[in-house]
Amino acid sequence: MKVALLLAAIVLSSSAQADIPPPPPDDPIGPDCQPFLGVWTPSVPEVARGATRWQLIAVGSEKAMLIEYVNLQDVNMIVGGGEAALTCDATADGVTILTFKLKDDEFTLTARLSGDAIFATERQSTYNSSGPPPEDWKPDTITTTWTRIAR
């Protein structure tokens, strides 16, 4: 009888705890970051000097997680990443500037949302040939489309 009462108490207490929502985040991301919640990956990898680089960005309610993969001669390796503090600043022209602050690094993405699960960024190309670039070389603007693969 005591065992049955003990089991009933455990079942009732665990079901009562399931109805309690998790506590609010200590340091939630701002409202401009809310459309970027989820896991994002670029539509095409970045190719430079014989290596192919993929990035994965996971934006949560408090922080972002960055993971960078490199495929060098058909060997996939995680080469960087970590947790990052994320701030977002929406501008009047529909662009949001995402600033990722890692432990030892900081970088920004200038993102333009084009739907619920897609945003685009632009960056300048780098010179990938050996030696110094020719005097007439100018970087190209590369547009990358990011797709949400999980929410």
- Residue 88 domain-assigned? yes
- The tally of domains found in the chain comes to 1
Structural domain contains residue 12: no
Length of the chain, please?
151
Residue 8 reports pLDDT greater than 60: no
Higher-pLDDT residue of 82, 28: 82
Please state, in angstroms and as integers, the Cα–Cα distance from residue 109 to each residue in 5, 121, 131, 132, following that order: 58, 7, 29, 27
**3 state SS of 52:** strand
**4 within some domain:** no
113/128 Cα distance (integer angstroms): 30
Which band of pLDDT confidence, cut at 50, 70 and 90, is reported for residue 10?
A: low
User: 78 in a domain, yes or no?
Assistant: yes
Q: Considering the domain boundaries, does residue 5 fall inside one?
A: no
Give the residue with greater pLDDT, 78 vs 150.
150
Task: Give 47 or 90, the one with higher predicted confidence.
Answer: 90
Q: Does any domain span residue 67? A: yes
CATH number for the domain harbouring residue 44: 2.40.128
Residue 46 lies in a domain: yes
Task: Look at the pTM and tell me if it is higher than 0.75.
Answer: no
Residue type, 40: W
Which segments of the chain are extended strands (E)?
38-42, 46-48, 51-59, 64-72, 75-90, 96-101, 106-113, 118-124, 141-150
- Distance (Å, whole) CA 149 – CA 135: 41
Structural domain harbouring 82: 25-126+137-150
